């Protein structure tokens, strides 16, 4: 019988193959965005603008017109998403601020100044301190791991369905964009399902899924200390789905067994 490797081994192999395919068929391009560009200009729109201008200089007006329509649809989508998240019934000021930004009548520069005393190291130290329990005691391990004959928790169909519906958000440290996951969903669903099931059966999570891109967002107009920032973490899309399914599988036995302490689990939070 062939001995299975740990989940991290399969995860490393998976990312190595996927990243190599992305580099071959979708090579990176450098796009410069400055503070003078409008708020809705992202790398994709900037690239489309350059392509349209190049086609117009060459006299290929029909193709340039098609790209113009594509750019307009991108801008409409960005504005729609930004307005959809606002609750004008609770905060009318934010709504009009966004309207002025879209109409180009913003009263002031939205950029903020950050004191030199606030650095990446100081933010790391601050949030590590408030997230660490100094009196925490490691609990003893229990023999509760699932046997090797446990049923498959993740099927290839489930993974393919998730990848087909993945939302267009920023990628994590794996640098796999959402559109690529959709494009090759039926080809990578089986290896991802294998990694998920192996991770569940061995009660371990690959290191790649424990890492995230942390972005500090100011909570006040003029931040002066580390507590004036909240942290936004961007994890790989694959790991986010894995954590949600783990939480769902943990929630079911807790609901069914009234003798289990329930105060340690909270739905929709990354507690695993």
pLDDT score for 26? 87
Arithmetic mean of pLDDT over the chain: 79
Q: Do 158 and 124 fall within a single domain?
A: yes
| Count: domains in the chain | 2
The answer to the question of residue 94 being in a domain is yes
Q: Do 154 and 204 fall within a single domain?
A: yes
The answer to the question of residue 19 being in a domain is no
3-state secondary structure the chain: CCCCCCHHHHHHHHHHHHHHHHHHHCCCCCCCCCCCCCCCCCHHHHHHHHHHHHHHHHCCHHHHHHHHHHHHHHHHHHHHHHHHCCCCCCCHHHHHHHHHHHHCCCCCCCCCCCCCCCCHHHHHHHHHHHCCCCCCCCCCCCCCCCCCCCCCCCCHHHHHHHHHCCCCCCCCCCCCCHHHHHHCHHHHHHHHHHHHHHHHHHCCCCHHHHCCEEEEEECCCCCCCHHHEEEEEECCHHHHHHHHHHHHHHHHHHHHCCCCCCCCCCCCCCCC
The answer to the question of residue 87 being in a domain is yes
The answer to the question of residue 202 being in a domain is yes
Q: Do 247 and 217 fall within a single domain?
A: yes
Mean pLDDT of 129-140: 80
Q: Do 185 and 83 fall within a single domain?
A: no
In this prediction, what percent of the chain has a pLDDT beyond 90? 20
pLDDT score for 232? 86
pLDDT score for 141? 63
The answer to the question of residue 11 being in a domain is no
More confident residue, 58 or 154: 58
Q: Do 154 and 249 fall within a single domain?
A: yes
Q: Answer for the pair 70, 44: CB distance below 8 angstroms, yes or no.
A: no
> How far, in Å, CA of 114 to CA of 120, rounded?
12
Q: Do 118 and 225 fall within a single domain?
A: yes
More confident residue, 56 or 39: 56
| pLDDT-derived band at 104, boundaries 50, 70, 90 | low
Pick the most confident of 85-94, 176-185, 243-252: 176-185
pLDDT score for 72? 93
Q: Do 123 and 223 fall within a single domain?
A: yes
Q: Do 118 and 209 fall within a single domain?
A: yes
Q: Do 209 and 229 fall within a single domain?
A: yes
Mean pLDDT of 4-17: 88
Structural tokens at position 32: 């410069």
Q: Do 119 and 96 fall within a single domain?
A: no
pLDDT digits over 67-76, tens only? Answer: 999 999 998 8
pLDDT score for 2? 47
Q: Do 173 and 227 fall within a single domain?
A: yes
pLDDT score for 265? 45
- Which residue range is the domain that position 229 belongs to? 113-129+149-256
| pLDDT-derived band at 190, boundaries 50, 70, 90 | very high
More confident residue, 100 or 195: 195
The answer to the question of residue 7 being in a domain is no
The answer to the question of residue 176 being in a domain is yes
- Of 138-142, 145-149, 211-215, 216-220, the range with the lowest mean pLDDT is 145-149
- Of 26-35, 85-94, 145-154, 219-228, the range with the lowest mean pLDDT is 145-154
pTM: 0.67
Q: Do 73 and 155 fall within a single domain?
A: no
pLDDT score for 91? 64
Q: Answer for the pair 181, 159: CB distance below 8 angstroms, yes or no.
A: no
pLDDT score for 172? 86
pLDDT digits over 228-258, tens only? Answer: 888 888 888 888 777 676 655 555 444 555 5
The answer to the question of residue 54 being in a domain is yes
């Amino acid at each position: 019988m062939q001995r299975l490797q740990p989940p991290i081994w399969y995860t490393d192999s998976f990312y190595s193959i996927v990243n190599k395919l992305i580099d071959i068929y979708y090579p990176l391009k450098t796009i410069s965005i400055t503070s003078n560009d409008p708020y809705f200009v992202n790398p994709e729109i900037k690239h489309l603008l350059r392509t349209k201008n190049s086609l117009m200089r060459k006299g290929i007006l029909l193709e340039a017109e098609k790209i113009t329509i594509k750019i307009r649809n991108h801008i409409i989508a960005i504005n729609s998403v930004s307005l959809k998240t606002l609750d004008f019934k609770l905060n009318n000021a934010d709504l009009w601020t966004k309207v002025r930004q879209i109409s180009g009548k913003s009263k002031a520069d939205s950029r903020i100044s950050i004191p030199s005393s606030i650095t990446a190291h100081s933010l790391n130290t601050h949030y590590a301190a408030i997230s660490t329990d100094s009196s925490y005691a490691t609990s003893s391990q229990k023999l509760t791991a699932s046997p090797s004959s446990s049923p498959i928790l993740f099927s290839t169909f489930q993974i393919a369905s998730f990848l087909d519906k993945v939302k267009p958000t920023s990628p994590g440290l794996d640098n796999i964009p959402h559109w690529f996951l959709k494009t090759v969903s039926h080809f990578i669903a089986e290896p991802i399902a294998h990694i998920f099931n192996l991770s569940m059966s061995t009660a371990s999570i690959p290191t790649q899924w424990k890492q995230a891109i942390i972005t500090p967002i100011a909570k006040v107009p003029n931040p002066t200390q580390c507590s004036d920032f909240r942290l936004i973490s961007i994890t790989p899309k694959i790991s986010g789905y894995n954590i949600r399914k783990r939480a769902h599988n943990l929630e079911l036995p807790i609901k069914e067994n009234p003798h289990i302490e329930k105060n340690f689990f909270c739905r929709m939070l990354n507690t695993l």
